[in-house]
Amino acid sequence: MRALIQRVTAAEVAVAGEVIGRTGPGLLVLVCAMQGDTEEAAERMAAKIAKLRIFKDEAGKMNRSLLDTGGGALVISQFTLAADTRSGNRPGFSTAAPPAEGERLYRHFARALAALGPRVETGRFGADMAVSLTNDGPVTIWLDS
């Protein structure tokens, strides 16, 4: 799995002008299932993200996790994280999982993250979504399983 996480003070996702998911302080998680990914990979990625110490403690150091802060997560599927731009000017996406498998693993990831404790809301797989966020820091981190 591949994920891009952003520490946010707020984030929301809308489809056709209707807000379908949001979070207050916490994380925006853009996630892409890659070919060969498994449910176990999704669970490991969820645990890593939940425990990643990227929130400030009382001394202002990044020493607290999403679990420590009680923050929420907005999880959005984003197959374009699989973009291969090594050749030419048009990205290729052949390393992304096929759509049905990608959706299954995306949903499994979101459930695994929620099972660890954070409040999790999601976008809509395959939809044209408008994502708004206020990046906190800014803190943006790329993760590969």
Sketch the domain layout of the chain as residue ranges.
Answer: 2-140
pLDDT at site 20: 98
Residues 6+ apart with CB under 8 A from 23: 8, 10, 11, 12, 71, 72, 73, 74, 119, 121
Active site residues: 78-80
Mean pLDDT computed over 83-110:
96
- The dihedral region occupied by 35, where left means phi > 0, alpha psi between -120 and 50, and beta the remainder, is beta
Chain centre to alpha carbon of residue 22: 13
2-140 fold:
D-tyrosyl-trna(Tyr) Deacylase; Chain: A; (3.50.80)
Indicate the pLDDT class of residue 54, thresholds 50, 70 and 90. very high
Indicate the pLDDT class of residue 93, thresholds 50, 70 and 90. very high
pLDDT at site 62: 97
pLDDT at site 52: 98
Mean pLDDT computed over 31-56:
98
Mean pLDDT computed over 117-141:
97
pLDDT at site 78: 96
Q: What is the pTM of this model?
A: 0.95
Mean pLDDT computed over 54-58:
97
Tell me what percent of the residues of the chain surpass a pLDDT of 70: 100
Indicate the pLDDT class of residue 33, thresholds 50, 70 and 90. very high
